[in-house]
Amino acid sequence: MLFAVSYQLRANTTEASQSRALQLFSNWTPPETYTFKAHYSYADCSGGLALVETDSAAAALQVHGAWAPFFDFKLVPIIEIDQAVQIGFANAKWRESVK
């Protein structure tokens, strides 16, 4: 399953905690069941976003838990737009059928 992940620096971020997060990240490997398809940093240094694939809530917890002291995460399941449009049409058709 694909997810859009956005994350923001926690409000209590300090220069020391940013340095620690960078040190940890340079030595970190995500679990095999959590695959980054794309990963970007916001140019204003406030956080970032990623496109990830996983079928495991435990893997998501493992990844986000490792970084919880530094970032607030939002994990949203996503699907390709053509599939979303077809589902939208089917939902509209069902709503119209109910009298």
Tens-binned pLDDT, residue by residue, of the chain (99 aa): 999 999 999 999 999 999 999 999 999 999 999 999 999 999 999 999 999 999 999 999 999 999 999 999 999 999 999 999 999 999 999 999 999
Residue 77: the pLDDT is 97
Q: What pLDDT score was predicted for residue 6?
A: 98
Structural contact between residues 34 and 51, judged by C-beta atoms closer than 8 angstroms:
no
Output the pTM of the full model: 0.86
Going from the N-terminus, what domains does the chain have, and what CATH number goes with each? 2-97 (3.30.70)
Find how far residue 68's CA is from the centre of its chain.
13
Strand ranges in 1-99 using DSSP code E only, listed in sequence order: 2-9, 35-41, 47-53, 71-78
